[in-house]
Amino acid sequence: MRRLSIILCAIAAALLAPAAARAGISDTAVKAAFIPKFARYVSWPSSAPGRTNAQILICVIGDDPFGGMLNQAATGQEADGRPFAVRHLASAAGASDCAIAFVDGARTGEILAALGRQPILTVTEAGSQRGIIHFTIVDGRVRFFIDNAQAQARGLTISSRLLALAIGVNQR
């Protein structure tokens, strides 16, 4: 017991100094940076709020893994000459103004189903319920799948530059 505590102290002392060193970049920060940028490579149908609203509304529906990172990433960015706004929603109710919806948490499937065929770019991560863009980690890097058939069914057009970056693209 005593020996264990000595070992622990030694480990703690030797290693706590580097703890102050720069922490790695989290996958969440990179996902937050990606989301506003997606807007530049997606076009919404002409009547959709994603096209017509003065601000491009990014909604976080369900759990919020970003804790302010998304607001930070969206601030000062623009797409199509329009700034971004970020809104948090508990459910799909009230999501009709969203251009992009990041959906996360235990009820992802229900929320995606409730969003139905509205012209919203749905984004998801780790899990069996996937939106149009689905983040994953490959080789320690944030990558994504794109479901282009799902996008087209909602009237969204995704540029070839974004499609080229996807790991897999579901075409109609």
Partner 1 sequence: MRTAVGAVALGSVLLWPGAAKAEEQPDLSSLSIEQLAQIKVTSASKQAEPLSGAPAALYVITSKDIENSGVTSLPEALRLAPNLNVQQIDASQYAIAARGFNGLQAGNKLLVLIDGRSIYTPLADNVLWQLHHPLVEDIQQIEVISGPGGTLYGPNAVNGVVNVTTKDAHDTVGAFLRGTAGPQERTAAARYGFAIGPSGAMRVYANWSDRDGLPDVLTPIDDHTRAVQAGFRSDFGGGADNFTVQGDIFHATDRQLSGDHANAHNLLARWSHALGGSTSFQLQSYYDWYGSDVTLVRQSLSTLDNEAQLNLTSGAHELVAGAGVRRTRDLFVNNLNAFELNPESRTLWIYNAFAQDRVNLTSDLSLIAGVKFERSSFVGWQVLPNLRIAYQPGANALLWAAVSKAVRTPSRIDRELQLPPVLAASTNFDAEKVTAFEAGYRGQPASWLSLSVNLFYNFYTDLRTTEYSPGGILPIQLLNGRRGRTYGVEAWGKAQVTPWWRLSLGATTLHKNFHVVADRVDFLPRNSLGADPHWQVVGSSDMDLSPKLKLTLDARAVGPLDLPPAVPGYVDAGGQLGYYLNDAVELFVAGRNLIHRTHLENGDPAAQLARRSIYAGTRLRF
Considering only residues 58 through 117, tell me which ones interact with partner 1, judged by CB under 8 A.
62-63, 65, 67, 69, 73, 76-77, 90, 92, 105-107, 109-110, 112-114, 116-117
Distance between CA atoms of residues 1 and 10, nearest Å? 14
Position 25 contacts partner 1 (CB under 8 A): yes
- Tell me how far, at minimum, the Cβ of 124 lies from partner 1, in Å: 9
Determine contact, residues 123/37, Cβ cutoff 8 Å: no
Stretch that binds partner 1, among 42-50, 52-60, 95-103, 122-130 (CB under 8 A): 122-130
Among 97, 129, 155, 163, binds partner 1 (CB under 8 A): 129
List the interface residues with partner 1, window 4-23 (CB under 8 A).
4-5, 8-9, 11-13, 15-16, 18-23
Determine contact, residues 65/28, Cβ cutoff 8 Å: yes
- Tell me how far, at minimum, the Cβ of 51 lies from partner 1, in Å: 21
Compute the C-alpha angle 165/171/172, nearest 5°. 160
Among 103, 142, 156, 158, binds partner 1 (CB under 8 A): 142
Stretch that binds partner 1, among 50-58, 95-103, 164-172 (CB under 8 A): 164-172
* Closest to 48 in 3D by CA, of 105, 115, 133: 115
Count, residues near partner 1 per rule CB under 8 A: 79
Helix (H, G, I), strand (E, B) or coil at 58: strand
- Partners of 89 in the beta sheet? 61
Determine contact, residues 135/33, Cβ cutoff 8 Å: no
Q: Which DSSP letter does residue 41 get?
A: G
